[in-house]
Structure 1
């Protein structure tokens, strides 16, 4: 049982660490579109995903996101890989309620809504650096407290899961034999304490680095206006409304 828990924690840490990683191995059309345009477009796709329970509209949104990702050079496999865990988790959460209320239709539709929204978010993350996203939020005149919160959350979350994964890998590399439950509890407590100590140290270093480098994002880079992106989303939205 404890081995299953350890593997689950390890895979969860790997997933959440990779969830926030940008994809820059291959430059695509979306990488060059203005961040404010992509942020507004992502908001539109999320609204299309969460404001309906119609399977046709949900499938249209999902297919539209995947077609856009494929035609602009993003890997569909990587996109789905980054999005599936939240979908599975949402299905597990709503399944008991759906069974008790004898509404299995909801157990399928709700995870599809989550999957569609996460796909849109991941397409933005894979093609836009976080500092560009923060810059786009400021260009769209969103509250500073929102952009600052996202900026801090991203920095500390990535460090947190990276440290957790490193600690678990180091412990696994030093273990020569299978551990019993009592040893797992003892070593788990030590690992948790080490994790908290490292988190506090890293948090202090991150705050000092942010003060030295500054917290404000500004760019002189020239972006693509994204006319194709805007036209594509307008067409998908119009089709969605007609269904």
Structure 2
């Protein structure tokens, strides 16, 4: 589940010396600040800051490009339609539709904000081990049920994928070839149904095993991480920097 970086798979050791809660709070403040900014130069500044952070962490360019392309593919329809739906000065026309300069500026802002936030999240949170991230969320007093759901999802999503792979292998062993016909869609429907049934059965076995080990509905998060003075200093400095960005955006 951890992001793949460089040759040794991690060069984020300089981040590991800080409390994970600091990384979560920094990512949250960065996202809130970036979303609030409206000036393009400041958005370019935060994008450059996120790219530098990813570079120092050791995230490879190919990994960043792959993740960003997945996000851009999701946003492509919005980015295409927005210039034609925002009123303003006409930039060019396409048939009976007119694209506005204000709409194009809005598209640029959305692209800069989304990329800056995603890159920073990959840098600060994506390089955390899932268990460490769950413990940090618990120390921040987030709802226990939400944390349990996150930890169980991380733990068993690979198990469900393995189950899906076994079912697909069984289908291929029976000479199943996917196509655009009724038999294919019915077969995939049975596949999804069997995956749900087996997931339910496995969840019941897991719950029974946990009850045998004294599970009472609560997971106790044991961690050796301690908030230090340097974490408070860094958080204060970053908060001041984000505040200056917001003030600059308001004054420009």
- Could you tell me the TM-score, scaled by structure 1's length? 0.70
Shift of 1:61: 1.8
- Could you tell me the TM-score, scaled by structure 2's length? 0.68
Aligned-residue CA RMSD in angstroms? 3.7
Q: Pick from 49, 72, 81: which aligns with 1:96?
A: 81
2:169 and 2:244 map into 1 onto residues whose CA distance is 48
- Is the aligned partner of 1:133 residue 2:128? no
- Is the aligned partner of 1:217 residue 2:201? no
1:54 and 1:165 map into 2 onto residues whose CA distance is 48
1:176 and 1:111 map into 2 onto residues whose CA distance is 42
Within 5 Å, give how 1:69-218 maps onto structure 2. 69-101=54-86, 102=99, 103-155=103-155, 159-160=159-160, 163-164=163-164, 167=167, 171=171, 175=175, 179-208=179-208, 212=213, 215-218=219-222
Q: With a CA cutoff of 8 Å and minimum separation of 6, indicate the structure with the bigger relative contact order.
A: 1
1:210 and 1:95 map into 2 onto residues whose CA distance is 50
- Worse-superposed segment, 166-175 or 201-210: 166-175
2:125 and 2:173 map into 1 onto residues whose CA distance is 32
Structure 1 segments unaligned to the other structure (5+ residues): 1-19
Structure 2 segments unaligned to the other structure (5+ residues): 87-98
- Contact kept in structure 1, 2:54 and 2:123, CA below 8 Å: yes
Partner of 2:126, secondary structure, is helix
- Is the aligned partner of 1:240 residue 2:245? yes
Shift of 1:43: 0.8
- Is the aligned partner of 1:60 residue 2:45? yes
Change (3 A) 1:33 1:193: same
1:236 and 1:49 map into 2 onto residues whose CA distance is 12
2:65 and 2:209 map into 1 onto residues whose CA distance is 34
- Contact kept in structure 1, 2:4 and 2:10, CA below 8 Å: yes
1:228 and 1:180 map into 2 onto residues whose CA distance is 60
Q: Pick from 28, 35, 45: which aligns with 1:43?
A: 28
What whole-Å deviation, never above 9, does each CA across 1:71-130 have from its counterpart, x for those lacking one?
233334323423432232123235334423342332332243222222222223432122
- Is the aligned partner of 1:26 residue 2:30? no
| Equivalent residue pairs, number | 224
1:207 and 1:94 map into 2 onto residues whose CA distance is 45
1:96 and 1:169 map into 2 onto residues whose CA distance is 42
